[in-house]
Structure 1
Amino acid sequence: MNFFIVDDDEAIRSMLWEIIEDNNLGDVVGEAVNGSLICSDFLRTKNVDILVIDLLMPIKDGLQTISELDSSFKGKSIMISQVENKEMIVKAYSLGVQYYITKPLNKLEVIEVIKRVISHIKLEKSINYIQDTINFLKVDNSKNETIINRNILEYSEFILSDLGIIGESGSKDLLSIVKYIHTHEGDAQTEKNFPPLKELFTRIAEEKLGKKTDLMNIRKEVKASEQRIRRTVMQSLNYIASLGLTDYSNPKFEKYAAEFFDFTEVRKRMLELQNNIPSNTTIHINVKKFIKVLYLESQKHLKFNSL
């Protein structure tokens, strides 16, 4: 992986460079003190896979730089910031930034975030390869015998990444639920006979803690898992709403807004963001619908690519 670092602090650039190369995460192909010299053509010429860029910089900051990149830059962006401004974070989400590193830098956090981005890039390449293979076979009128049967969790991770929440703690709980349903229920799952949420939360808590764990600890983990998932689903709704607010025809917004959420609630959140109103308890989310759609969509991808 090729990295390009943009930060007005020389010490930060040096630290990131050292962490990336000392931990064999990739090669740093360049650095800059602000975004004034950064454009899509420049990054493409440098073969940049991951742009690590500071949020606040003189002359041209991270948000402005990211907003001016066009679709020809296929890489991922990691935003560095010590600012916890919700409006700026929403703006960053709307620009497609899904990954953050907070200041002051923590080596373990930097490594973890970068590994997550690398994993996402590899997953996208894998999905694109499969899709290219499908398209080729369709044109060639051949049978799809060479398409690889990918694990259902890969498709779930791809969808969660599209929904802007692959880095959230609740995403791990969601993946555990998808794995449980697929392992224990398989093809019997349909829209009508989906397991109750209580059962799903209890089963993944038992798998995490072990069935010999006492009932009190199981209940605590069930409650904690439910809270993590609710926060994660709400974060996804915020992300999708911010995409729609920026561009109503955004492909992700068109695909996911009504599929994973009640569109009335998405629209309500869009109006809040538009008027700079903080999110409040009037926004309702349907966790069961979210989980059900996540599983069925992942299962659909798995079946389709197994033909």
Structure 2
Amino acid sequence: MNFFIVDDDDAIRSMLREIIEDNNLGNVVGEAKNGISIKSSLLNSKNIHVLIIDLLMPIKDGLQIMSELSSSFKGKFIMISQVEDKEMIGKAYSLGVQYYITKPLNRIEVVEVIKRVISNIKLEKSINHIQDTINFLKTGTQNKIPESKTIAEYSASILSKLGIIGESGSNDLISMVKYIYSRENHIPSEKFFPPLKELFTHAAEEKLGEKSNVPIIKKEVRASQQRIRRAVMQALNYIASLGLTDYSNPKFEKYAAEYFDFTEVRKKMLELQKNTPSSTPIHINVKKFIKVLYLESKKYFEDNL
């Protein structure tokens, strides 16, 4: 992966370059102290996959640069800053930021965020490759070629739109979607939706293998529950940020009510707007999230068979 770093702090650029190269995450092929020279032509000529950019810089800030690049730069954005203004963060997400890292930088956090973005890039490339192959076959033959995209790939696409494909819990969610679809073939769909315990147990067994013992599986079930709750909460945060920036955002309109209880979305939006924790806990309905993800993935999958 090729990285380009834009930050007016020499020490920050040096630290990021060291983290990326020492952990074999890719190559830093360009740096800049400000955004004046940052054009899509420059980034594309260097084949940049990830642009790491500071939010606040002299002359031209990170949001201005992202706005200018949004339609022409095909890589991913990671934003870094000491700023914790939720409206600015929401604006950054709406412009295409994959993740937001606060200063001072934490090496472990930086590594994990970059790994998630790399995973996202690889997944998108895989999906695009499959689609390109299908399109080629369709145009290259007179016979209609069946759509070969799996239900798991449709789930991954939806999770990407929800801003959480890089979260570790996304793999658990995709595993559950595949399991539900395979089980539904044997039980009438109007009566069937597995209990959460069954879904978490399956995800744990699939990850660990059939030879794992009961205590290890129970431990992995608890870990899976935590990963999925974090992923769903991150999706809620992402959707609320979009709504806070633009209430008519198509993603917000589609996903806010479908995947979440809208009352909780509103609470999260107010929390972000006021930059203070909600006076009452924000609840997420994990079962509803999984069920809607499954039904939407199934619809896309079966509509394209």
TM range (shorter): 0.7 to 0.9
Write the mapping of 1:204-219 to structure 2, written as runs, cut at 5 A.
204-208=203-207, 212-214=213-215
Say whether 1:35 aligns with 2:55.
Answer: no
RMSD of Structure 2 on Structure 1 (CA): 3.8
8 Å contact kept, 1:272–1:279: yes
Report the equivalent of 2:250. Answer: 251
CA distance, structure 1, for counterparts of residue 287 and residue 116 of structure 2: 26
Helix, strand or coil for the counterpart of 1:258? helix
Q: Deviations over 1:57-102 (max 9, x none)?
A: 4444434533454322222101234x48372544533433122456
8 Å contact kept, 1:206–1:213: no
- Given the two structures, how large is their TM-score scaled by the length of structure 1? 0.75
User: Residues 34, 186 of structure 1: CA spacing in aligned structure 2 closer, same or farther, 3 A cutoff?
Assistant: farther
| Alpha-carbon distance, 1:260 to partner | 1.6
Helix, strand or coil for the counterpart of 2:214? coil
8 Å contact kept, 2:169–2:227: yes
User: Residues 288, 101 of structure 1: CA spacing in aligned structure 2 closer, same or farther, 3 A cutoff?
Assistant: same
Report the equivalent of 1:92. Answer: 92
Please list every run of 5 or more consecutive structure 2 residues that lacks an aligned counterpart in the other structure: none
Say whether 1:171 aligns with 2:194.
Answer: no
CA distance, structure 2, for counterparts of residue 34 and residue 295 of structure 1: 44
Structure 1 counterpart of 2:92, one-letter code: A
User: Residues 275, 114 of structure 1: CA spacing in aligned structure 2 closer, same or farther, 3 A cutoff?
Assistant: closer
Q: Deviations over 1:252-279 (max 9, x none)?
A: 2233223222334334433443444434
User: Residues 9, 271 of structure 1: CA spacing in aligned structure 2 closer, same or farther, 3 A cutoff?
Assistant: closer
User: Residues 240, 121 of structure 1: CA spacing in aligned structure 2 closer, same or farther, 3 A cutoff?
Assistant: same
User: Residues 118, 220 of structure 1: CA spacing in aligned structure 2 closer, same or farther, 3 A cutoff?
Assistant: closer
| Alpha-carbon distance, 1:44 to partner | 4.6
Helix, strand or coil for the counterpart of 1:79? strand
Helix, strand or coil for the counterpart of 2:247? coil
User: Residues 146, 14 of structure 1: CA spacing in aligned structure 2 closer, same or farther, 3 A cutoff?
Assistant: farther
Write the mapping of 1:245-284 to structure 2, written as runs, cut at 5 A.
245-279=244-278, 281-284=280-283
Write the mapping of 1:120-269 to structure 2, written as runs, cut at 5 A.
120-128=120-128, 143-145=143-145, 147=147, 149-182=148-181, 185=183, 187-188=185-186, 190=189, 192-208=191-207, 212-214=213-215, 221-269=220-268
CA distance, structure 1, for counterparts of residue 141 and residue 277 of structure 2: 53
| Alpha-carbon distance, 1:247 to partner | 2.2
Please list every run of 5 or more consecutive structure 1 residues that lacks an aligned counterpart in the other structure: none
Structure 1 counterpart of 2:157, one-letter code: F
Structure 1 counterpart of 2:258, one-letter code: E
CA distance, structure 2, for counterparts of residue 135 and residue 54 of structure 1: 39
Report the equivalent of 1:9. Answer: 9
User: Residues 137, 303 of structure 1: CA spacing in aligned structure 2 closer, same or farther, 3 A cutoff?
Assistant: farther
Q: Deviations over 1:176-223 (max 9, x none)?
A: 3234334x5154573541101122223334555665223xx6555544
Report the equivalent of 2:71. Answer: 71
